[in-house]
Copies of this chain bind each other. A is one copy, B any other.
């Protein structure tokens, strides 16, 4: 029989952050709120709502405060709402909006870290330390960008991932996301690195953030699951993209992942039909191509065997 699978997995919806930030035309704040609401109504209970960054850097997310306040007012403690922050200033903004979990990105490839946030590893770790000190009650997770490959430096060595993970866990981080930032990881790499990390840091909660750039979003999801990871960051409609791969698919689509797990009898807590409804709302409100498969496959209607 197929390798023993868990009974259920956890989806973390990152479309409102990773997806929306890649959309050029401004999405009205009320549309953002109604899309996020439809996702939550479909059963998604963990959402990265936005990013607290300079509105000059990412004008699309200039309404971070308003989005967070509206969603938290509506759903409060019934969901796990997080936001990405690039620095202490962003973290303070998130706190002000009522957010209790932030995500900080550090790239395993230092070349990518410099390009992405203009910091060395040391500088990123100093900033992380400042956030942890200033906000002792905030839950902080670390996204390890370019865990598998870097557009500048090529394949990334597992030792580099290990070293950075050791640094952040020493600082008290308990949640780490392994990110295939440009979407070129292969299932053997995802499996091997995931298994190694879980063994080396048994008390850390690991998640995977995968892109479908080369069509390997789902195979890498299963490879991670086979290595024991059960939390996955996905994006509604496959929004997200990769600045180094124009035209390519974006993040692994939430509905593709939920469909696969539903048909494998692995619980996600999400209602696929309602979720496809949310994808339809994204298609209506967001001016960006949806690259997920389920939305294009009208077969859903004629093959709903569940």
Please state if A297 and B192 are interface contacts (CB–CB under 8 Å). Answer: no
A303 and B186 alpha carbons, distance in the complex (Å): 13
Please state if B264 and A188 are interface contacts (CB–CB under 8 Å). Answer: yes
Which of A195, A213, A219 gathers the greatest number of chain B CB atoms within 10 Å? A219
Please state if B263 and A184 are interface contacts (CB–CB under 8 Å). Answer: yes
A228 within 8 A of B: no
Nearest residue, chain B, Cβ from A154 = B305
Q: Report how many residues on chain A are interfacial, defined by Cβ distance under 8 Å.
A: 52
Stretch of A39-47, A91-99, A106-114, A239-247 contacting B (4+ beta carbons < 8 Å): A239-247
In the complex, chain B residues whose CB is within 8 Å of the CB of A259: 214
Tell me the residues in window 260-278 of chain A with beta carbons closer than 8 Å to chain B beta carbons.
260, 263-264
In the complex, chain B residues whose CB is within 8 Å of the CB of A154: 303, 305
Stretch of A126-134, A136-144, A248-256 contacting B (4+ beta carbons < 8 Å): A248-256
Stretch of A22-30, A66-74, A82-90, A288-296 contacting B (4+ beta carbons < 8 Å): A288-296
Please state if A2 and B187 are interface contacts (CB–CB under 8 Å). Answer: yes
A5 within 8 A of B: yes
Oligomeric state, in number of copies?
A: 2
Which of A222, A260, A294 gathers the greatest number of chain B CB atoms within 10 Å? A222
Please state if A293 and B249 are interface contacts (CB–CB under 8 Å). Answer: yes
In the complex, chain B residues whose CB is within 8 Å of the CB of A218: 215-216, 218-219
Nearest residue, chain B, Cβ from A297 = B248
Nearest residue, chain B, Cβ from A304 = B154
Nearest residue, chain B, Cβ from A191 = B2
A242 and B264 alpha carbons, distance in the complex (Å): 22
A187 → chain B, closest Cβ, in Å? 6
A57 within 8 A of B: no
A151's contact among B183, B213, B264, B303, by CB below 8 Å, is which?
B303
Extra contacts besides A187-B222, A247-B297 (4): CB < 8 Å: A1-B195, A212-B215, A213-B297, A249-B296
Q: Can you give 9 contacting A-B residue pairs, CB < 8 Å?
A: A2-B188, A151-B299, A186-B264, A188-B264, A213-B299, A215-B253, A216-B218, A219-B221, A247-B297
